[in-house]
Structure 1
Amino acid sequence: MAKEVNLTEELKKNFGFDTFKGNQEAIIKNLLAGKDTFVLMPTGGGKSLCYQLPSLILDGTAVVISPLIALMKNQVDAMRNFSAEDGVAHFINSSLNKAAIDQVKSDILSGKTKLLYVAPESLTKEENIDFLRQVNISFYAVDEAHCISEWGHDFRPEYRRIRPIINEIGVRPVIALTATATPKVQHDIQKNLGMLDATVFKSSFNRPNLYYEVRPKTANIDKDIIKYIKSQEGKSGIIYCLSRKKVEELAELLQVNGIRALPYHAGMDSATRTQNQDAFLLEKIDVIVATIAFGMGIDKPDVRYVIHYDIPKSLEGYYQETGRAGRDGGEGQCITFYINKDLQKLEKFMQGKPIAEQEIGKQLLLETAAYAESSLCRRKILLHYFGEEYEEDNCGNCDNCLNPKKQVEAKDQLCAVLETIIALKEKFKAEYVIDVLMGKETSQVLSYQHEDLEVFGSGQGEDERTWNAVIRQALIAGYIDKDIENYGLLKVTKAGHAFLKNPVSFKIVKDVDFEEMEEEVPMKGGAACAVDPELYVILKDLRKKIAKRLELPPYVIFQDPSLEAMATTYPITLEELQNIPGVGAGKAKRYGEEFIKVIKAHVEENEIERPEDLRVRTVANKSKLKVSIIQAIDRKIALDELAESKGLEFSELLDEIEAIVYSGTKINIDYFLREIMDDEHIDDIFNYFKESESDDLEAAIEEFGMEYSEEEIRLIRIKFLSEMGN
């Protein structure tokens, strides 16, 4: 079908590029050979070229079906810029009058036009079908192909009529392209377009230059965003909101605060919208505040941050929108504000839609919540969602990897989940599996008589968040699978059955509880340092003074992260001071007064507005384990036995005990130390910490060489901190 061509020469001649990106060349060769082609390529990967170049090489006109009028215009203008001939590319859609449409048709029939863009609505019109029957069509390109699938984030029913119309006009090769498709959506697209035999080209979804962060959405969100934008002086950014009203309000608020920002949404008249979009592209403004109507085909390579004011309805939407950052390969920060209430609101919006659609929408929202609340690497979750395995344990460029949470052993919990799924004959979703594990007698459970199952209530020792985390992480580890056709039903994989026969270690990270976020996490940009460096220095001096007076190393009084937190949230009462990480009641009582006095004076002197609604952190549920450890130590239970009874590694037990003494609680582990060490060895290490500048473990290990084990050093450090600091 294709003439013998040198593709690299054609690329240089038509577009001025020397080399192809990624899979482009293989995709083009496949299409030139007359084969159906399916292209899955992330935003910024160069999808358009995959059909633009072949259209110029092949005889006839390529028909590109695209959902957005604004996008067509951009693409046609771009093609005309590359060619000497204006008629090389055209579009037909509702924005053209009759005379313009006649001009387009005459250019096509005379053979000038290589690329014709049509909206799916225009394609279905009888007169256009009749006209296209007379045209020599080289191939069909279906752009934004995820619109075909109701599982996609942008479902358009008229896309479902594309295949029958192609059959009516005349069958030619089809190339379908999308930037976001889960395995389920991909299958849907291919089935619908009748191209199950197509060659599939899938590029990696990983965008290593993008930093992903999810922050709790608090009452201070507007303040946070303004502060953040001001720290990104002169850089371009997009803020996505769900409602037009919020877009207008936020754009106005940013303007009032001296930020060059404009709104963009589908409710504005098209002239204003285009004007605002151009102002952003031409950098007359720095920030565009938009609904998701903005950005399809926005080819601004140097967007440095994308902020989601509201969490999107699906992970595809999220991936597509965040994908507009850093398209030039440079830095791109993707910051999302999340609160579960927003998802409940989105679920309410779905009422009134057909049940099947509501069901799908709900599943998509659950995936989004899982992403937001998980403490796992964000990249790993996103790529897994798109059917791609990410092998690294730490991507080093998301909030969870930069501040990793502690892993806990969940071998038994995973066994319980697998047994429950099997007992339920693999016919239920995660929510239901958790209900059964937790022994909830819901109407659904009772109607199936599942309260009689042996597994019913077997997981009451854990909370719902833990079970969610186990299931999510077991999916990523490949022990369970979600049924694609009945979206959401859990199945046990071959690996899962093998695990049940022979369980191995399975560690999970607990999910974040966004409803009870304990302290504000500083946004990336300032790293983990205090918001008020001046106060931080004052507090360090005070700590030094107290340490000198009490002849203690400064770190015994408060550790650096505690001082940083004080210089961020300005606690001025003992109660507020206890909300600071690493400060328990004991420490607050012992050293708190002097610190509060200094902070109060600083706040008054500099007229600082404190984050008033300082969340009071409750200690109770978080410290069930800690309380039981303290009680066991009071009863003089050997620590190695204690670790075993709690299902902890010995080093994990030491982590817990260290946290107890750092926050100011006094404990006595002499009974255990005397059993395992000589007095003079104990004194040797104790004196080292007394004279040392820091409680750094590495430094202590280096100091003692092979003389003592890491565990012995940690145990004496605990004794030292408890006796000297508490």
Structure 2
Amino acid sequence: MPPATVESMTSPAGGTALDVLSHVFGYGAFRGEQADIVEHVSAGGDAVVLMPTGGGKSLCYQIPALLREGTGVVVSPLIALMHDQVQALRAAGVRAEYLNSTQTLEERSRVERAYIAGALDILYVAPERLNTPSTRSLLARGEIALFAIDEAHCVSQWGHDFRPDYLALSDLAELWPDVPRIALTATATEATHREITQRLSLGNARHFVASFDRPNIQYRIVPKRDPRAQLVEFIRAEGQDAAGIVYALSRASVERTAEYLVQRGIPALPYHAGLDAHLRAEAQSRFLREDGLVIVATIAFGMGIDKPDVRFVAHIDLPKSVEGYYQETGRAGRDGEPSVAWLAYGLQDVVQQRRMIDDSTADAAHKRQAMQHLDAMLALCETVQCRRVNLLRYFGQDSAPCGNCDTCLEPPAVVDGTIAAQKLLSTVVRLDRERNQRFGAGQLIDILRGKETQRTRQHGHDSLSTWGIGADTSEQRWRGIVRQILAQGLLATRGEYGVLGITEASGDVLRGDRAVQLRDEPEKSPRARATRKAPAHELEPAAAELFEKLREWRAATAREQSAPAYIVFSDATLREIAVARPTDVSALGGISGVGDKKRAKYGDAVVDLVRAYAALGS
């Protein structure tokens, strides 16, 4: 008998996978490898799925969960995200619930009874809860359609987001050997991919690896000078109604940055683990429901958001790894619209990150791995080639220059920095060998520029042979040179104060055996430029006006339901309605994102609005 196909596979309630895609989720066709994944998992096969954020990973387990008998159990590490995902599924007519620590005993009991009775299509569970004997006993009392392990990269002990509770998920294969398992992530190098497969006992799984490219995201990295002022300029260039996330390294920086933005007329809220839980929940709720709000968050604290219309993600501190950077920037543009990933990066970032690694209590292997992660992030920041090519290469994928990142749009000049590097390294050597002294970048630059200060006078640095030999170069330019030389491994930080010392590679430069190429950075930061306007602004005037009226209706409807606006309809769906102008409810069936439940719930209101608009124009 030939294997079942997506077209022929039916759900317990009747209907094929394509029927579920159309009638429940409102889409006319699968994208990329979605159809193959749905077919494989629905037939009982295990799968490992690597797919970028916004690529449609959720449908890869949601549809099989609806096609198979029983309840699809989804393992998700972000409790805050569960509520939004469940709310969106319910809006589409799916019987979805979650079990986590935010619920009362009565709420948990209600969900447990529904699961045992077979009245749930999908159940979200945190890994910590799934690993408890009580939850496993509960699951054994019902019928499981599949296990979906979301954010599967959390199983990697070398990764940026390791969660120990993920390691215990390998037991699922032994406890429920006949239940298919699908592990999914948007962030995995080849090494992490292998680790997911091994640690989750998915050796016999079929692997689906999509391109990690997010062509709608424009990557920009700028030299850090006055990061908060640069951030304000960037946000204003993006438009005051643009929703965005700003990442900072510390809680104090988060607080100060949010306050700085508010003082300059940009609505912003802080979000970090040190805030009261009620304040965090309120900040997240407002971010999901309000247009033009900026959330400022710590890099280490996961933002459990599923908001599709985040127009920018900004970093004012250097991320610790490319994986972390990719995942955080991936929260922009989930709706496929043009978005920006902006990063301000400076010398102090490099010194601070390396000192944090050196001072950590981790063993040598973890420190070595952390330094490799940092070096890869520095390579991305310092590249003079296409950012996207560099980023995808890190994940083992090839790409042509994108023509859309900053280095493609404004290619940086490359200059011979060998002499400047020799001046700097010679100063470091002379201080160490002649004076038994080591200093940070600021003191070295003062020596090179011949700047008389209390410290240079105190230590008699004006008598060094390198005193003033870099006076023709500005302090700002020297800081950029130091940063790039650090990134190239020609300098290293030492000790708790982050003083600079030479490396094995420094000798080659000092002897003239190695040339040093540097980015020729401008003395002033380039002006922030707005992204390419989204298609919403490219609509014909009449359609654009109708689109805005539909957005107003959606905002009011969402407020009435205490739900994020995107759960009603996405911008892409409203845009399609504005162009098509359906005058009866049945015509909404051909609009992407309008499933049966939403058409029944909102169809009359949408059609009435379209008719009223048409009447005004006639």
* Global fold match (TM > 0.5): yes
- Structure-2-length-normalised TM-score: 0.66
Distance 1:269 1:458 in 2: 52
1:229 aligns with 2:235: yes
Match of 1:558 in 2: none
**Residue 57 of structure 2: SS of its match in structure 1?**
coil
Q: 2:37 aligns with which of 27, 31, 39?
A: 27
Match of 1:461 in 2: 512
Task: Give the counterpart letter for 1:361 in structure 2.
Answer: A
Match of 1:259 in 2: 266
Match of 2:50 in 1: 40
CA contact (8 A) 1:37 1:198 kept: yes
CA contact (8 A) 1:133 1:170 kept: no
Q: CA deviation at 1:115?
A: 1.4
| Cα distance change on mapping 1:149 and 1:306 into 2, 3 Å | same
Distance 2:176 2:116 in 1: 15
1:352 aligns with 2:361: yes
Match of 1:520 in 2: 524
Task: Give the counterpart letter for 2:136 in structure 1.
Answer: I
What are the within-5 Å matches in structure 2 for residues 541-580 of structure 1? Answer: none
What are the within-5 Å matches in structure 2 for residues 172-187 of structure 1? Answer: 172-187=179-194
| Cα distance change on mapping 1:435 and 1:223 into 2, 3 Å | closer
Match of 2:606 in 1: none
Number of equivalent positions: 441
Match of 2:424 in 1: none
Give per-residue Cα distances to partners, 1:180-222, cap 9 Å, x unaligned: 111111111011111123211112111222211111111x222
Q: 1:18 aligns with which of 19, 28, 33?
A: 28
**Residue 186 of structure 1: SS of its match in structure 2?**
helix
Q: CA deviation at 1:148?
A: 0.4
What are the within-5 Å matches in structure 2 for residues 150-549 of structure 1? Answer: 150-218=157-225, 220-231=226-237, 232-283=239-290, 285-292=292-299, 296-350=303-357, 351-390=360-399, 392=400, 394-405=401-412, 457=508, 460-461=511-512, 466=516, 510-512=517-519, 517-525=521-529
Q: CA deviation at 1:177?
A: 0.4
Q: CA deviation at 1:335?
A: 1.3
- Structure-1-length-normalised TM-score: 0.57
Give per-residue Cα distances to partners, 1:396-449, cap 9 Å, x unaligned: 21121122245799xxxxxxxxxxxxxxxxxxxxx9x9789xxxxx9997xxxx
Distance 2:503 2:215 in 1: 44
Q: Percent identity?
A: 42
CA contact (8 A) 1:340 1:369 kept: no
Give per-residue Cα distances to partners, 1:139-165, cap 9 Å, x unaligned: 111000000002322111111111025
Q: CA deviation at 1:380?
A: 0.6
Q: CA deviation at 1:28?
A: 0.4
Distance 2:281 2:490 in 1: 50
Q: CA deviation at 1:293?
A: 6.1
1:140 aligns with 2:191: no
RMSD, matched Cα = 3.1
**Residue 48 of structure 1: SS of its match in structure 2?**
helix
| Cα distance change on mapping 1:434 and 1:12 into 2, 3 Å | closer
Q: 1:77 aligns with which of 53, 78, 87?
A: 87
| Cα distance change on mapping 1:458 and 1:364 into 2, 3 Å | closer
**Residue 130 of structure 1: SS of its match in structure 2?**
helix
Give per-residue Cα distances to partners, 1:642-661, cap 9 Å, x unaligned: xxxxxxxxxxxxxxxxxxxx
**Residue 289 of structure 1: SS of its match in structure 2?**
strand
1:4 aligns with 2:4: no
Distance 1:136 1:519 in 2: 65
| Cα distance change on mapping 1:283 and 1:462 into 2, 3 Å | farther
**Residue 240 of structure 1: SS of its match in structure 2?**
strand
Q: 2:134 aligns with which of 121, 127, 136?
A: 127
CA contact (8 A) 1:31 1:175 kept: yes
Distance 2:229 2:502 in 1: 44
Structure with the larger RCO, 1 or 2 (CA within 8 Å, 6+ apart): 2
Distance 2:392 2:92 in 1: 35
| Cα distance change on mapping 1:460 and 1:7 into 2, 3 Å | farther
**Residue 258 of structure 2: SS of its match in structure 1?**
helix
Distance 2:415 2:259 in 1: 46
| Cα distance change on mapping 1:459 and 1:31 into 2, 3 Å | farther
Task: Give the counterpart letter for 2:103 in structure 1.
Answer: L
Give per-residue Cα distances to partners, 1:459-505, cap 9 Å, x unaligned: 942558x4xxxxxxxxxxxxxxxxxxxxxxxxxxxxxxxxxxxxxxx
Distance 1:90 1:286 in 2: 28
Distance 1:170 1:133 in 2: 13
Q: CA deviation at 1:458?
A: 9.6
Distance 2:209 2:136 in 1: 32
| Cα distance change on mapping 1:341 and 1:443 into 2, 3 Å | closer
Q: CA deviation at 1:241?
A: 0.7
Q: 1:118 aligns with which of 125, 132, 138?
A: 125
Higher-Rg structure is: 1
CA contact (8 A) 2:248 2:298 kept: yes
CA contact (8 A) 1:68 1:119 kept: yes
Distance 1:344 1:150 in 2: 25
Match of 1:100 in 2: 107
Q: CA deviation at 1:171?
A: 4.8
Give per-residue Cα distances to partners, 1:362-404, cap 9 Å, x unaligned: 21111111111121110110000111101x2x42211211222
Distance 2:86 2:489 in 1: 52
Task: Give the counterpart letter for 1:177 in structure 2.
Answer: L
Task: Give the counterpart letter for 2:155 in structure 1.
Answer: I
- What runs of 5+ residues in structure 1 fail to find an aligned partner? 410-430, 437-441, 467-509, 528-726
